[in-house]
């Protein structure tokens, strides 16, 4: 018999993190632990999707109510493909399914002795360079954070409707060699996008993430963008992809949004088949949350798995980060 615990944890950030939607000082995470009678343990965490109303309490309730039905599909207490399929069938995309799916992947790896990346049919795991994200702030704060981030080769800058080009200019002056992407978190419209794109391109920006509100992506029809655009909030799971073709060049796959590694792998296959390029992202979290995303990152042009770098502490057996370069997660952590 597989037993489980579901706990809510608080993880403090190094400093307040501001984006166009608000400010965070800590990240609440829901942690699922699965244990079999032989002592094998599978774990996963989820931050959920706050802008879809997913709270820690709601996620905990969803996980606890559905998990017995999912585990009933296991062969005895051994996780198999049927167990993973049950999670996909019983839950919609979102944080609860992410926690269950990724914990099942971890437990299956522990039970079988076969690494999760092998189950994912990957050729292996290589180190990845993640973006390092700078939240919104004053000019002084932005310059300070840019100077402190000079060891990171790839930065993502949060912007809003009023703060955009100047932020890039300040960072460029403090960290001249940085590769830069910007993330508007849905705060722009087409007029503003067309106005700022030439100026962003002149400052060496590589990519713009989610410039317009989700469900308003038709604003981008016919746009001759100077820079590639990436869909984040507008990109949920495979069902959301049809609305993105021809409007975006990248999609940001987040396991909290799509509902776990199983869907993320299928989603990446479908997106690549339709000519979209891939980015993997996170809703902030510890190395436990980044580890399954690391597998998707093997297929991605942009990797945004810097959650642990924004927090005051991390898990035991944490992923090793050196100037933005991530080493593959150890099996003691996940998978």
In CATH, what number is assigned to the domain containing residue 160?
Answer: 3.20.20.120
Question: Over the range 264-278, which residues count as b (16 or more CB within 10 Å of their CB) and which as e?
Answer: bbebbeebeeeebbb
* Residues 90, 59 within the same domain: yes
184 & 142 share domain = yes
Average pLDDT of the residues in 58-83? 92
Residue 295 above 80 pLDDT? yes
Same domain for 115 and 233? no
Alpha-carbon span 281 to 197, nearest angstrom: 23
Number of domains observed in the structure of the chain: 2
For 107, the domain range is 3-119
Residue 75: its pLDDT value, please? 78
Last residue of a domain, one of 72, 93, 119: 119
**Is residue 100 in a domain?**
yes
Q: pLDDT confidence of 238, banded at 50, 70, 90? A: very high
Is the whole-model pTM more than 0.85?
yes
Give helix then strand counts, H and E, for the chain. 10, 14
- 185 and 216 in a single domain? The answer is yes
Residue 265 is encoded by which pair of tokens?
Answer: 């792998």
Mean pLDDT across 51-61: 96
Which pLDDT tens digit goes with each residue over 14-53? 988 878 788 888 999 999 999 999 999 999 999 999 999 9
Mark which of 62, 96, 119 sits at the end of a domain: 119
Number of Cα atoms under 13 Å in the Cβ half of residue 157? 35
């Amino acid at each position: 018999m597989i037993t489980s615990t579901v706990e809510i944890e608080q993880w403090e950030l190094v400093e307040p993190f501001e984006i166009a939607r608000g400010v965070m000082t800590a990240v609440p995470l829901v942690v699922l632990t699965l244990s079999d009678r032989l002592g094998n343990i599978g774990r996963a965490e989820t931050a959920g999707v706050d802008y879809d109303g997913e709270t820690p309490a709601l996620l905990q309730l969803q996980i606890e109510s559905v998990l017995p039905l999912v585990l009933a599909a296991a062969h005895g207490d051994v996780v198999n493909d049927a167990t993973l399929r049950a999670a996909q069938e019983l839950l919609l995309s979102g944080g609860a399914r992410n926690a269950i799916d990724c914990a099942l992947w971890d437990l299956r790896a522990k039970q079988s002795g076969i690494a999760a990346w092998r189950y994912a049919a990957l050729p292996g795991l290589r180190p990845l360079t993640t973006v390092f994200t700078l939240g919104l702030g004053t000019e002084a704060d932005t310059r300070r954070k840019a100077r402190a981030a000079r060891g990171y080769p790839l930065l993502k800058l949060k912007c809003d409707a009023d703060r955009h080009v100047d932020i890039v200019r300040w960072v460029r002056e403090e960290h001249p060699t940085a590769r830069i992407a910007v993330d508007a978190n849905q705060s722009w419209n087409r007029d503003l996008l067309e106005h700022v794109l030439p100026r962003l391109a002149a400052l060496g920006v590589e990519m713009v993430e989610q410039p317009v509100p989700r469900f308003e992506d038709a604003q981008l029809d016919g746009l001759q963008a100077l820079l590639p655009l990436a869909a984040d909030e507008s990109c949920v799971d495979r069902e959301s992809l049809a609305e993105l073709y021809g409007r975006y060049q990248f999609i940001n796959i987040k396991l909290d949004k799509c509902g776990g590694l199983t869907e993320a792998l299928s989603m990446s296959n479908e997106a690549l088949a339709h000519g979209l390029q891939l980015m993997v992202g996170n809703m902030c979290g510890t190395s436990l949350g980044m580890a399954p995303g690391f597998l998707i990152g093997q297929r991605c042009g942009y990797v945004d798995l810097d959650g642990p770098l924004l927090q005051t502490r991390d898990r035991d057996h944490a992923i090793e980060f050196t100037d933005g370069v991530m080493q593959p997660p150890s099996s003691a952590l996940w998978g």
